[in-house]
Amino acid sequence: MNESDPSAVGRRMIQVTVLGWLAMLGIDALLHAGILARMYTAPRPFLLPPEQAFRRIPLGYASFLVQAVLLTWLCWRLDIRRAVDGLRFGLLLGGVIWGSLTLGLASIATASTGLLIGWFVGQTVELGVAGAVVGAGLKAERLRRLSLAVLALVVGCLIITVVLQNIGLAPAARVNP
């Protein structure tokens, strides 16, 4: 990538942001539809009923896009151009963002400790993975290999989620029309 060409830099930033966001979506599906799914079926006044929550998924995914934009911009500004450095930075950023959010929720909400810990760990890992993707993407000449890796990650997460649901370790979402 020619870093002296502003339009090339802009295109790369958008492409890398989208790849980081897609990686977050794959991890998020595994986290919430698989690993933490049982916690969402327990009745609690803190959480929306599953049908309402399912319909609002696009809002959550939009919030991840905002985080991916911030992550990409920060990695660019901080000259983070390797996957391992992006992973470290993403984990640090995720720990700060989700740690503070979790503490705030713990102070005012009825969410269980397990759910709060699950959110903190899961969302921190999500930003870490996105950071690795962004760091690798900002260094790569071409994004084909990285795009295929992100696609494999997303498909792998979805397959694991379906397996967890089919073997009974995670309840499948049942949404009534």
Encode pLDDT of 7-46 as tens digits. 888 999 999 999 999 999 999 999 888 888 888 777 667 7
**What residue spans define the domains of the chain?**
6-166
> Does pLDDT of 142 surpass 80?
yes
Note every long-range contact of 148-151, with CB atoms under 8 Å and residues 24 or more positions apart, other chains counting. Answer: 150/19, 150/22, 150/23, 150/26, 151/22
Phi, psi angles (nearest 5°) of residue 166? -75, -25
Query: Which pair of structure tokens corresponds to residue 119?
Result: 């959110």
> Does pLDDT of 163 surpass 80?
yes
pTM for this predicted structure: 0.87
Assign 6 a pLDDT band (cuts: 50, 70, 90). confident
Please compute the mean of the pLDDT values over residues 51-66 and round it to a whole number.
Answer: 90
